[in-house]
Amino acid sequence: MELRHLRHFVAVAEEGHITRAAERLGMQQPPLSQRIKAIEDELNVQLFRRKPRGVELTEAGRVFLDRARATLAHYDGAFEATRSAARGEQGRLCIGVLPTTLFHPFVPLIIRAFRTTYPQVSVTLDECMRAEAIDGLRNQQLDIAFLRSAIDEEVDLNAYPLLNEPMVAALPSDHALARSGRDAQSLSLKDLADEQFILYARKLGPSFYEATMAACIRAGFTPRLGQEAPRITSALSLVAVGLGVSLVPACMQNMTMNGVVYRRLKGAVQPKAVLMIGLRRGDTSPVVRNYVSLVRKTAKTFRPSEKEAR
C-alpha cells in the first residue's frame, strides 16, 4: 500500500461517493473503485458499505480513516518541516554578545525582530569576551557574534561593520567637569588632557583602547594611562571611585551607575565605536543567512534615540 492509496481512500471517505472522489482526485471512477477494493483485500476487512447513492464507512473504515489521516499529516508535516528548514524558518541560532553590545539598542531590537519573523527558530544568547566569541565561532559553538572590532586576521571568519556609535566621556560624579554650571551637557576632549584614563584592556578590547589613544593624540595630547579594566563595567566602576575618566560607547549611558556621569564630546575630535557582526566564512546555514540579511538590512535604516545620538 502506498501513500497515494491512502489519499484515495481518504477522498472516498470524505466525499461519501466514489464518482465525486474520482473527480476530486482527477482520475477515472473504475480505477478508484479497483483501488478501494484492493485496499480492502490487503487489509482483509470491509471499509465501506455500498449504498444506492454512495458509500459509508464501516466501523473498521472509521478507524482506518483516523490512522490514514494521521499518517498523511505526519508525512506532509515532515516534508513541510524539511522545506521550512531549508528556507531557514526552523532550526537554532546561538548568538555571541560582548558586554558592551548588550547595551546597544540595536542588538535587542534585531533579536526581537528576528524572533518575530522566524518564530520557529530557537535563539540563544551567550555573553562572552572578544577572544571567546572568536573561538566560539571557529569551533561552531556560536553561529553569529556581535563584535566591536574587525577580525581580518582570522582567515576563516568574516566581520561586517553595521553601525558607528559616538563615544562619550565617563567622569566621576564629583569631578569638576561633571558639575552643573560648567556646560553640563558636553565637553571637549582637550578638557581631559590632565586626567588619568581608565582603559578597557587592550588584549580584550583593542578597538576601545585604540580609539581612545588615537582620539587623544588628535586632540593634541598623549593620555596618562591608569589601570586597565577587564570589562567595560569594571572600567566604569573604577571611574565611579575616582581613579580616572574613560571613553565609552554612547550606549553605555543606558547603564546607570552611582558615582558616574556621562558627558558627550564636542569639537572636531569625535571618537567612534563600531558595532560589527562576525560569522564563519562560507557558512551555508539558511538560518544564519536569514539572520545576517535581516541584521544588515535593519542597520541601514536604524536611527538611535536622542540619548544614544548625543
Query: Domains along the chain?
Result: 3-86 (1.10.10.10), 91-162+275-309 (3.40.190.10), 165-273 (3.40.190.10)
Amino acid letter, residue 10:
V
The most confident of the ranges 128-132, 199-203, 294-298 is: 294-298
User: Cα(245)–Cα(241) distance, rounded to whole angstroms?
Assistant: 10
pLDDT band (50, 70, 90) for residue 295: very high
If one compares 186 and 240, the residue with the highest pLDDT of the two is 240
If one compares 121 and 306, the residue with the highest pLDDT of the two is 121
Give the tens place of pLDDT for each residue, 30-67: 999 999 999 989 999 999 998 888 899 999 999 999 99
If one compares 282 and 243, the residue with the highest pLDDT of the two is 243
User: Cα(53)–Cα(286) distance, rounded to whole angstroms?
Assistant: 52
pLDDT at 110 exceeding the cut of 90: yes
User: How are beta strands 196-200 and 224-229 bridged, if at all?
Assistant: parallel
% of the chain surpassing 70 pLDDT = 92
pLDDT band (50, 70, 90) for residue 248: very high
pLDDT at 87 exceeding the cut of 80: no
Distances (CA, A) of 76 to 3, 4, 41, 82, 261: 11, 12, 26, 10, 60
C-alpha 304, offset from chain centre: 19
pLDDT band (50, 70, 90) for residue 310: very low
pLDDT at 217 exceeding the cut of 90: yes
113 Cβ partners below 8 Å, 6+ apart? 294, 298
pLDDT band (50, 70, 90) for residue 282: confident
With 0-12 CB in 10 A as exposed, 13-18 as middle and 19+ as buried, what is 239?
buried
